[in-house]
Amino acid sequence: MSVIDKVLKDFNWEIGGDSSHLEAKLREELGALEAANIHSIIQSEDQANEVIAQIDTAVDQLTLIDEWLNHYTNVLDSMGADVHQVEVRNKNLQTASNNQKILLQELDKLVSSLKLPSYIIEILKNEPLDFTDGILQCEEATIKLNEAIKKKFDNENMNAVKERINLFQGYGNEFALRLCDYLSNLFSSQIETYLNDEQRVSKKGSLKLYGIESFEEKLYRFRKLLAWLKDFDPRKHQDLQMVH
């Protein structure tokens, strides 16, 4: 059987039959195919529109997610900058703290080097000047005091150094005043002894020379302290010379 015969058989039409019936049948089949095709196209468009709508929704959601991601990225960047700033600040504070520790250590060393032993201060304030031993101790104390006052420092303009030097100057001033008072009293005592000595007037009524050897010996014991006084306070030394 040929292919045409088979097709015609499917349409229930035999060769030599009425062709109008076949034409009508073909038109009917064609119309059905076109209707089915249109329906399929319409259905495909609906599905496509649905897919497009879903894609649009997904795009909107992705856009929103992208906006949130950008927001969080900015927040994290800002937090990162803050964290970096805090780290830098902490590093600076740590550096400053270390520098302060080093400075305090240097200050401790400096203050330690500026200390004057307490026994030196005690000698300058209270050691009697009546005996040779006391005078020798005062001489040693003035040497130590002089070394402390004239000691050179790289940081001599620091307040701590200035205050300590001023304190030492105060000890020196106190001792200088005590030394001057003692020697002035010694001079006065010597004069009073001379004036009260009845033997200073000879039987003929004339004054005799009064020996000063003993007084000079007493004064000679203070030669080093007087040299210190001349260097430390020239004005007091000059006043003492005037009294002498």
Give the tens place of pLDDT for each residue, 180-235: 999 988 888 776 665 665 555 554 545 444 555 566 777 889 999 999 999 999 99
Write out the two tokens for 41.
């196209």
Do residues 122 and 227 both lie within one domain? yes
Do residues 120 and 239 both lie within one domain? yes
Tell which of 31, 58, 80 closes a domain: 80
Residues 126-149 have a mean pLDDT of: 93
Query: Is 60 exceeded by the pLDDT of residue 94?
Result: yes
Domain extent at residue 3 = 1-80
Spatial CA neighbour of 172 closest among 242, 234, 110, 244: 234
Decide if 199 is inside a domain.
Answer: yes
Tell which of 53, 80, 107 closes a domain: 80
Do residues 145 and 225 both lie within one domain? yes
Query: Is 80 exceeded by the pLDDT of residue 167?
Result: yes
Task: Identify the pLDDT of residue 7.
Answer: 55
Name the burial class of residue 84, with classes exposed (0-12), middle (13-18) and buried (19+) by CB atoms within 10 angstroms of its CB: exposed
**Range name among 66-75, 126-135, 139-148 with the lowest pLDDT average:** 66-75
Using an 8 Å Cβ cutoff, are 233 and 178 in contact?
no
Decide if 73 is inside a domain.
Answer: yes
Quote the CA–CA distance of 229 and 175 in Å, as a whole number: 9
pLDDT band of 114, cuts 50, 70, 90: confident
Strand, coil or helix: 201: strand
154-162 long-range contacts, CB within 8 A, separation 24+: 155/106, 155/110, 158/110, 160/107, 160/110, 160/111, 160/114, 161/110, 161/114
Residues 151-161 have a mean pLDDT of: 69
Give the tens place of pLDDT for each residue, 12-60: 555 555 566 656 766 777 677 766 666 666 666 667 677 778 888 888 8
Quote the CA–CA distance of 219 and 216 in Å, as a whole number: 5
Decide if 106 is inside a domain.
Answer: no
Do residues 234 and 153 both lie within one domain? yes
Do residues 144 and 73 both lie within one domain? no
The CA angle 225-231-233, to the nearest 5 degrees, is 90
Spatial CA neighbour of 148 closest among 122, 110, 175, 114: 114
Percent above pLDDT 90 for the chain:
24
Do residues 74 and 120 both lie within one domain? no
Decide if 105 is inside a domain.
Answer: no
Using an 8 Å Cβ cutoff, are 226 and 237 in contact?
yes
Using an 8 Å Cβ cutoff, are 128 and 137 in contact?
no
Quote the CA–CA distance of 167 and 80 in Å, as a whole number: 54
Decide if 28 is inside a domain.
Answer: yes
Write out the two tokens for 155.
């940081």
Count of structural domains, the chain = 2
Do residues 27 and 131 both lie within one domain? no
Tell me how far the alpha carbon of residue 22 is from its chain's centroid. Answer: 109
Task: Identify the pLDDT of residue 10.
Answer: 58
Decide if 102 is inside a domain.
Answer: no
Decide if 12 is inside a domain.
Answer: yes
The residue among 138 and 26 whose pLDDT is bigger is 138
Strand, coil or helix: 130: coil
pTM (two decimals): 0.53
Using an 8 Å Cβ cutoff, are 158 and 111 in contact?
no
Do residues 74 and 132 both lie within one domain? no
Do residues 10 and 74 both lie within one domain? yes
Task: Identify the pLDDT of residue 73.
Answer: 86
Residues 147-164 have a mean pLDDT of: 75
Do residues 120 and 193 both lie within one domain? yes
Spatial CA neighbour of 223 closest among 139, 127, 121, 125: 139
Do residues 145 and 224 both lie within one domain? yes
Strand, coil or helix: 207: strand
Query: Is 90 exceeded by the pLDDT of residue 138?
Result: yes
Do residues 73 and 139 both lie within one domain? no
Task: Identify the pLDDT of residue 207.
Answer: 47
16-20 long-range contacts, CB within 8 A, separation 24+: none
Decide if 70 is inside a domain.
Answer: yes
Tell which of 62, 80, 98 closes a domain: 80
The structure tokens 């009546």 sit at 130
